[in-house]
Amino acid sequence: MSPAIKAPLLPNQEPSSSSSENHGSFAGAVFNISTCIVGAGIMAIPAAFKVLGVIPSLSIIVIIAWLSNVSAGFLMKSSLAGESTTYAGVMKESFGKSGAVAVTVVTMVVTFGSMIIFSIIIGDVISGNEKDGIIHLGLLQEWFGSHWWNTRFFGLLFIFVFLFLPLVLCRRVERLAFSSAISFLLALLFVVISSVLAIIALVQGKTKPPRLFPELNDGGLSFFSLFTASPVIVTAFTFHFNVHPVAFELKDPLNVLSATRISVILCATIYSATGLFCYLLFGDSTMTDVLMNFDQSTSSSVGSLLNDIVRLSYAIHLMLVFPLLNFSLRANLDELLFPMKLSLVEDNKRFFALTFPLLISCFLGAIAIPDIWYFFQFLGSTSTVSIAFIFPAAIVLRNVNGFSTLREKIVASVMLVLAVATSIIAISTNIYTFTATEET
């Protein structure tokens, strides 16, 4: 007999003939998950191609995409075998209260960090940034010149007040399906235009052959530094904290597995195309936030227009992804601080008391932190690898509800070993590199 399914994040209602109107759609689930995956991570994928080379990068994207889909399946299977309807609830069933607290805290770190990364990139696009002594103008400076009102602080302040605030006040994730669809289409537009620009440059002979494999000679990268690029790709495929909210707004929560599979395939394709074509277009000058490469002047007005469209379209994409992450962050923080309270959507005072401080903190973080690459490395080698792989694998191996098969335990064991080993190497290499840099 299958376990009863509860619908979190929604007010309890009596069943009625019109209750299906309260369920989310399958298409909305695909768009919400796809939008959650294709976030800021895509901006650092071309830099990962530069570090790893084309073939290793494509291989890692395929492997991580498959593992991400498998681990999401682990989470949902465990949920349906037990009685929990949240990621934290599944961890609580397997590891007690400490497990629930661990996944809640890590999820908040991932989502809050990702929201800051989104804001940093949006700030780079609209107000520019300075990298290695080179000033990269934002769209507002290029269009109107440099003024006090289009500095990074005031540009982001406008975005937070007039765009982010109305979106984060949505209380059901399904209501964000339309904005998610627009956001995903904007991401596709970014990929198409980048690909066209790369193909044109290739035909005109303005590109250099990309490296198929990383340089490991004395003048190139060390072997262990390659592990610092892999976490960037892991971060780009971390969506697991939104699986449960999306699943339990569907009529049949199991449908989220098909939605996840479709989303992962779409996003792996987008990542591969973006990494390959942007690396082909910019070569060794590819920056950690590839949008800053598109501020380069071109010899034609059409080229300049396309560059502006690329930057603006993806900035809008990130603006529309932002509320999805905020939704997960707010829900997890509420579960951590008020585990015995009523649903968050029913308590206006608690809802606003969580929403506004989170938004203000994210704004201040985006102003204080200048670069996304180190943030990606930190998140990818610690928090995101735990959310995407370590916790789901541990749940399968713990097997509290007796749902795990032998094959699943083998896959989970391999997943756990690879995740922990890669994370340790990446963290150690980052610490060594940072220490060496400080000494010089």
DSSP E strands, 174-293 = none
State how far the alpha carbon of 222 is from the alpha carbons of 92, 112, 286, 336, 342, in Å.
41, 32, 19, 41, 53
Domain-by-domain residue ranges, the chain?
26-338+345-439
What was the pLDDT predicted at 372?
Answer: 67
pLDDT for 19 equals 42
Contact 155, 367 (CB under 8 A): no
Closest CA to 185 of 303, 270, 120: 270
Nearest CA to 191 out of 286, 87, 274 is that of 274
Number of Cβ atoms within 10 Å of the Cβ of 161: 12
Q: What's the pLDDT score for residue 240? A: 87
CB 330 within 8 A of CB 344: yes
Decide if 380 contacts 235 (C-beta within 8 A): yes
Given this model, what pLDDT does residue 40 score?
60
Q: What is the pLDDT along the chain (440 residues), one digit of tens a residue?
A: 334 333 343 334 344 444 445 677 888 888 888 877 876 677 778 888 888 889 988 999 999 999 999 999 999 988 888 888 888 888 999 999 899 899 888 888 888 888 888 898 898 888 887 666 667 778 888 888 888 888 889 999 999 999 899 888 877 766 666 777 787 788 788 888 888 888 888 888 887 888 888 876 654 455 666 666 777 788 788 888 778 888 888 888 888 899 999 999 998 998 999 899 989 888 888 887 787 777 665 555 666 777 788 888 888 888 888 887 888 789 888 888 887 777 777 788 899 999 999 999 999 988 887 666 666 666 666 788 888 899 999 999 998 888 888 999 999 999 999 888 877 877 776 676 666 655 55
Residue 356's CB is within 10 A of a number of other CB atoms, namely 12
pLDDT number for residue 59:
92
Collect all residues with Cβ–Cβ distance below 8 Å to 384 and sequence separation of at least 6.
Answer: 110, 231, 234, 235, 238
At 44, which amino acid appears? A
pLDDT of residue 226: 65
d(CA 183, CA 322): 10
List of long-range contacts for 19-23, beta carbons under 8 Å, 24+ apart: 20/251, 23/249, 23/250, 23/251
CATH class of the 26-338+345-439 domain in this structure: mainly alpha
Give the integer Cα–Cα distance in Å for 89 and 81. 12
Q: Are 120 and 366 in contact (CB under 8 A)?
A: yes
CA distance 231 to 226: 10
Question: For residue 358, what are the CA distances in angstroms to 229, 375, 419?
Answer: 29, 18, 30
Cβ contact 63:310 at 8 Å: no
Q: Give yes or no for a contact between 286 and 50, defined as CB atoms under 8 angstroms apart.
A: yes
Cα(145)–Cα(142) distance, integer angstroms: 6
Q: Write down the pTM of the prediction.
A: 0.77
The distance of Cα 79 from the centroid of its chain, to the nearest Å, equals 23
What pLDDT score was predicted for residue 5?
A: 39
3-state secondary structure 370-407: CCCHHHHHHHHHCHHHHHHHHHHHHHHHHCCCCCCCHH
